[in-house]
Amino acid sequence: MYSKKVIKYFMHPKNVGEIKNPDAKATEGSLACGDMITIYLKIDSKTHVITDIKFKSYGCAANIATTSVMTEMVKGKTIQEAKKLEFKDITKALGGLPPMKIHCSILAIDGLKTAIRNYEERHGLAKPEDLNESILRSRLRKVIDPKVGKDIVTAGIVQNVTIKNGAVRLLLKLPEDHEFRDNILEEIDERIGHIPGVKKLNIEFIKQ
Ligand code: FES
């Protein structure tokens, strides 16, 4: 059911791995299936050209093929050009995907766009949004707890979110011995720690 190109990219994926000290990084999960990818970017600070991109996949064959082809399509492009890439461009480049695998290409695009957004927020390039609880919760819904395959809001890890004068306070139900605690905390910081307007991020834990 896969095209020859999908099989080729799955068997011999390009740009797999991790970049040490990346300029931006993002982990994105698909709520459709629980698969995940992490994208690493190196970006020229003057030209904003993506000089290197790598990925790790915790997903299916189409997840690996679509993310791999996406990395080839955006390497050497500016972040503005890369943001214009759509999932349809990826499926076309791969000679099509079975309908039930279209979301794999959407995941590849989401991972790229989140990594670029993280870069923009860290470098003062992002447009400020009105900071409110619903924006924070929608960002937190993108952080997946791999242990249960659910986002941390749905999984009940986020107990409370408050904002006061730019200081964000999160109350989490996250045991110290949770297998993915460090990854979850790192992801939270990436998702909301650098939103324009967030002056401070305080994370507190419910004692269990
Ligand atoms: Fe979900 Fe491929 S089945 S990313």
What domains does the chain contain, in order, with CATH numbers? 4-122 (3.90.1010.10), 133-205 (3.30.300.130)
Residue 79 pLDDT level (bands cut at 50, 70, 90): very high
182-201 residues labelled b (16+ CB within 10 A) or e (exposed): ebbbebbebbbbbbeebeeb
Query: What is the whole-number distance in angstroms between the Cα of residue 128 and the centre of ligand 1?
Result: 32
- Predicted structure pTM score: 0.84
- 103 C-alpha to center of ligand 1: Å? 6
**What is the pLDDT at residue 144?**
85
Q: Residue 29 has what pLDDT?
A: 86
**Residue 199 DSSP class:** -
pLDDT mean over 4-24:
96
Which of these, 17, 31, 32, lies nearest to 67 by C-alpha position?
A: 17
Helix (H) or strand (E) holding 56: strand 50-58
Report the percent of the chain where pLDDT is more than 70: 100
Whole-angstrom distance between the N-terminal and C-terminal Cα of the chain?
A: 48
* Whole-number pLDDT of residue 34: 81
* Strand, coil or helix: 11: helix
Closest among 146, 151, 153 to 178, alpha carbons compared: 146
Find the catalytic residue in 19, 31, 33, 49. 33
Q: What's the pLDDT at 185?
A: 95
- Who lines ligand 1 at CB under 6 A? 30, 32-33, 35, 59-60, 62-63, 101, 103-104, 107
pLDDT of residue 137: 94
* Average pLDDT score over the chain: 93
Distances (CA, A) of 73 to 15, 24, 25, 64, 109: 11, 18, 18, 14, 11
Mutation test of ligand 1: which of 36, 56, 94, 103 has the most ligand atoms closer than 8 Å to its C-beta?
103
How far is Cα 56 from Cα 152, in angstroms, rounded to an integer? 21
Specify the pLDDT at position 10. Answer: 96
60 part of the active site? no
State the pLDDT at residue 130: 75
- Look at residue 189 in the predicted model and tell me its pLDDT: 93
Q: Which of 74, 90, 94, 104 is catalytic?
A: 104
Cα 196 to middle of ligand 1, angstroms: 32
CA distance 141 to 112: 17
Cα(70)–Cα(9) distance, integer angstroms = 11
Residue written as tokens 């993280």? 118
